[in-house]
């Protein structure tokens, strides 16, 4: 089937058809509008966009029937803006670059945005040396403009990181604009500002995923590494996030400092109701350069991996 699609796309007539479908109109991005309608939404567009819709529909119907995929499932998935964006980007990528290997989408599916350099903690291993905002940080108006540009380019997903993104007062305004642009977003945070109120706002904005950093299973280990007393607030933040129903992941940077505690942290994450645990390798850049000797030795890394293997 992959071969057949490639052959079909190599044909000059189908290339022209796809290029037309992937073009833009004052109605919007043609493919995205077509996918909206395909998903069963009410969409108003001009007669040219309607031709594009019929062509996209014919192409999708034929691919689905050949691959024996149920149309209902695809229609259901395409109701989700992230899926729609992703598929649009694939089709627009083929229209622009052809079916090449490695595959090139029209726009990046995901952008990790270091939204601010400001942070309320002073972690020893901070790769970004985050503390205060950098002098050239975007203003709110510029950040909103950047979001519009990402949306217009066809990005599907923005992962908000930092610094601590929630330190910026305009975080929710910007997140709201991300949603307005039909993009999904997630948040990487130290958890200290995940109050019930903030978490409620994240739920309202359809935040897809919250990643919370935890570097110890107790206040001593966590706080000494994070540079400020924060363990209790981070744990409360994790609880608030889990309670909200948003998928929560715990991220731990493993060093000599917390190596002995890794599995206690995993147990704690499980008890708190996190769905995901991420073991991050320590990258000694930023402030991390000062503690390069805390990086695991090859032997320690191997022992850690063996333990993972043996873990029930
Ligand atoms: Zn149109």
Average pLDDT (283-289) is: 84
Q: Is the CB of residue 126 less than 8 Å from the CB of residue 155?
A: no
- Residue-level pLDDT at 269: 96
CA 5–ligand 1 middle distance (angstroms)? 27
CA 56–ligand 1 middle distance (angstroms)? 14
**Gap between the Cα atoms of 274 and 78, Å rounded:** 28
CA 224–ligand 1 middle distance (angstroms)? 58
CA 82–ligand 1 middle distance (angstroms)? 22
Lowest mean pLDDT among 92-101, 168-177, 209-218, 264-273: 92-101
Average pLDDT (189-214) is: 96
Residue 37 has pLDDT above 80, yes or no: yes
- Residue-level pLDDT at 131: 82
Q: Is the CB of residue 21 less than 8 Å from the CB of residue 91?
A: yes
- Residue-level pLDDT at 126: 79
- Residue-level pLDDT at 1: 52
CA of residue 235 relative to chain centroid, distance: 23
CA 43–ligand 1 middle distance (angstroms)? 11
Q: Is the CB of residue 195 less than 8 Å from the CB of residue 240?
A: yes
CA 193–ligand 1 middle distance (angstroms)? 44
Average pLDDT (14-43) is: 92
Lowest mean pLDDT among 34-43, 122-131, 192-201: 122-131
User: Would the CA dihedral through 241, 242, 247, 248 be positive or negative?
Assistant: positive
Locate the domains of the chain by residue range: 2-97, 110-310
Q: Average model confidence (pLDDT) for the chain?
A: 90
> Structure pTM?
0.87
In this structure, what DSSP letter does residue 137 have?
P
CA 178–ligand 1 middle distance (angstroms)? 24
Task: Read off the pLDDT of residues 178-195 as tens digits, 9 standing for 90 and up.
Answer: 999 999 999 999 999 999
Q: Per DSSP, what are the bridge partners of residue 281? A: 254
Residue 4 has pLDDT above 70, yes or no: no
CA 158–ligand 1 middle distance (angstroms)? 27
Q: State the CATH architecture for 110-310.
A: Alpha-Beta Barrel (3.20)
Helix (H) or strand (E) holding 29: strand 28-29
CA 19–ligand 1 middle distance (angstroms)? 14
- Residue-level pLDDT at 96: 87
Main-chain phi, psi angles of 72, to 5 degrees: -60, -40
Q: Is the CB of residue 275 less than 8 Å from the CB of residue 248?
A: yes
Beta pairing, strands 247-254 & 276-281:
parallel
Residue 284 has pLDDT above 90, yes or no: no
CA 31–ligand 1 middle distance (angstroms)? 11
Angle at 222 between CA 199 and CA 252, to 5 degrees: 70
Task: Read off the pLDDT of residues 220-278 as tens digits, 9 standing for 90 and up.
Answer: 887 787 778 889 999 999 999 999 999 999 999 999 989 999 999 999 999 999 999 99
- Residue-level pLDDT at 288: 82
Residue 30 has pLDDT above 80, yes or no: yes
């Amino acid at each position: 089937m992959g071969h057949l699609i490639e052959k079909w796309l190599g044909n000059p007539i189908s290339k022209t058809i796809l290029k037309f479908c992937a073009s833009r109109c004052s109605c919007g991005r043609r493919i995205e509008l077509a996918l909206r309608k395909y998903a069963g939404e009410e969409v108003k567009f001009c007669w040219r966009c309607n031709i594009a819709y019929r062509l996209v529909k014919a192409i999708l119907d034929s691919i689905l029937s050949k691959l024996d995929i149920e149309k209902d499932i695809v229609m259901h998935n395409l109701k989700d803006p992230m899926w729609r964006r992703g598929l649009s980007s694939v089709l627009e990528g083929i229209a622009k670059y052809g079916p090449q290997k490695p595959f090139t989408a029209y726009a990046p599916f995901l952008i990790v945005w270091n939204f601010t350099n400001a942070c309320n903690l002073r972690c020893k291993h901070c790769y970004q040396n985050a503390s205060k905002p950098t002098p050239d940080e975007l203003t709110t108006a510029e950040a909103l403009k950047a979001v519009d540009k990402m949306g217009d380019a066809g990005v599907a997903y923005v992962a908000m990181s930092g610094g601590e993104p929630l330190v910026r007062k305009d975080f929710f305004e910007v997140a709201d604009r991300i949603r307005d642009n039909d993009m999904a977003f997630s948040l990487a945070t130290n958890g200290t500002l995940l109050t019930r109120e903030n978490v409620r706002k994240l739920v309202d904005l359809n935040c897809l995923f919250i990643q919370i950093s935890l570097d110890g299973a107790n206040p001593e280990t966590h706080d000494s590494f994070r540079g400020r007393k924060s363990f209790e607030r981070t744990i409360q933040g994790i609880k608030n996030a889990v309670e909200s129903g948003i998928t929560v992941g715990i991220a731990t940077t493993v060093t000599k400092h917390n190596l002995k505690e890794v599995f206690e942290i995993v147990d704690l994450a499980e008890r708190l109701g996190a769905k995901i645990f991420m073991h991050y390798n320590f990258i000694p850049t930023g402030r991390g350069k000062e503690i390069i000797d805390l990086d695991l030795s090859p032997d320690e890394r191997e022992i850690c991996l063996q333990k993972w293997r043996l873990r029930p």
